[in-house]
Amino acid sequence: SALWRCPDNTCVPCIGSLMGLGDIISQQLVERRGLQEHQRGRTLTMMSLGCGFVGPVVGGWYKVLDRFIPGTTKVDALKKMMLDQGGFAPCFLGCFLPLVGALNGLSAKDNWAKLQRDYPDALITNYYLWPAVQLANFYLVPLHYRLAVVQCVAVIWNSYLSWKAHRL
């Protein structure tokens, strides 16, 4: 449907909303903050990150990946998944986590310590979910729908990332 088609492959408002939803799930279901203790600024930060960082970066990555490996065979999908998970995912997480820390006012020293503490676990957890999702995504989903499909799955991932990124 046209609603899910992303002509520029970024779906920025959609991604911002889904990142915000992930944070709401994190705060309400995982952290059990309740509505009175909900940190609205944190949700807005995650939405802003979705619009200003995640959407453009991941959408751009999918375009580059599709140019680099243009096919849609099972072997092409496997190659894309390997590049995505072996190259992009570690770099993306290594940028995302300290970006959240900086936006939350962590000093460079505290942000570095938090990254060293949280990055290995976040990357390992990434590997439990994303290789299978991305293999199916690269094999079955046309380029202009990939980011939207991934972001639907990512609501759960975003909940985890929000929890991980905001845990002190």
pLDDT at residue number 166: 81
pLDDT at residue number 168: 67
Domain positions in the chain? 55-166
- Residues in Cβ contact with 50 at an 8 Å cutoff, skipping those fewer than 6 apart: 12, 15, 16, 17, 18, 19, 20
pLDDT at residue number 55: 84
pLDDT band at 12 (very low <50, low <70, confident <90, very high): low
Q: What percent of the chain has pLDDT over 90?
A: 61
Place of tokens 């990357």: 123
pLDDT at residue number 73: 94
Q: How far apart (Å, rounded) are the C-alpha atoms in residues 100 and 54?
A: 12
Mean per-residue pLDDT for 110-128? 95
pLDDT at residue number 2: 40
Q: How many CB atoms lie within 10 A of CB 84?
A: 21
pLDDT band at 95 (very low <50, low <70, confident <90, very high): very high
pLDDT at residue number 11: 58
